[in-house]
Structure 1
Amino acid sequence: MSTLENRPNKAVLVIDVQNGVVAGNHERDAVVANINTAVGKARAAGVPVVWIQDTGGERAPGTEPWKIVPELDPRQDEPQVQKQWGDSFEETELESVLAGLKVGSLVVTGAQTDECVRSTLHGAIVRGYDALLVSDAHTTEDSTAYGAPAPDAVIAHTNLYWKYHEAPGRTAGIVTTADLSFDQG
């Protein structure tokens, strides 16, 4: 359980699923569809959805690369957090948004697996949050030209180590989109 006091709620984070981030990513369409399903499950259960957008490089606010992909539909009443660093908590309003929603447990989706998703997962755990990764709702680009493993291997490895990640008083783990549930029972 989270080490954050009086924070019993969950929230779904959708990290950087933007035109200028996920174009050409590994299994992009399937991952975006899974994120859409996770968002729908959250909304049906009254669980907040928080949209994270990277503003680096060509992703200046308001530009086409900055926009959330058209298959997803952020709602006006759902928080949108702008970031410049890999960890979605770093120099952003994410912590205050989550505190206002009394959130202590996060369900994480998005891109890039090996940068912003992993950084945010670790950032959450070190800040006292529980962090569950939706194993088939995150993706990354092909960085093999820079010495990285193939995208499917990056995703599989992230799922493997996050499945077994531990921290005192906090939980980590993975779940598939199909098995994701917000039932309290």
Structure 2
Amino acid sequence: MRYKITFLISILAIFLSGCSSSESPTNTNSINKTANTIVTNTNNPLETSKTPEVSTTNNAPTIAPVVKAYCEAFVKKDEAGFRKVFSQETLKQYESDMKADKKNSLIEYFADTESPNNKLCEARNEKIEGSTALAEVRTDNAPNGVRYKFVKENGEWKWTNESPDFQSVKQSAANSNSSK
């Protein structure tokens, strides 16, 4: 009987000594920890990633009066004042588009896509290079801002219908269509 008790105690001691080891296990999970983090827009697959808003570097002291004149003329339905804001080349393009759409006035033409008000009407981040300038224009229809090109005609700054933002969209659309 003594041998049985001694044998059981030694087996128990060996078993307990194996369980009380202080060394860490060798089979740790080596998967990249960043793979398990949740990206914010993966919760909703239809949600797009919002690009951060560009900080204001200046309040467009040269271009802001042109944008204000645009908004004021649009709200007052002042056709002459509205036309005065745009460059000659841009006016020619708009007049051609107006004929195609059977519109009699530029304000009527713009009213199809723009809403005339002065709630949000500002320019910022202008960059002037000689007789051309780029500025970000923010209105109710484009609260995040759209960059437009402005040109100097007869000593006055005029708004054009050219936008690097729209050109990049057209370019990327053309590239995606050409690969089909």
Shorter-chain TM-score: what band? under 0.3
Specify the structure having the higher radius of gyration (Cα).
2
Tell which has more relative contact order, 1 or 2 (C-alpha 8 A, sep 6+): 1
Per the normalisation by structure 2, the TM-score is 0.24
**Of Structure 1 and Structure 2, which has the larger fraction of its residues in helix?**
2
Per the normalisation by structure 1, the TM-score is 0.24
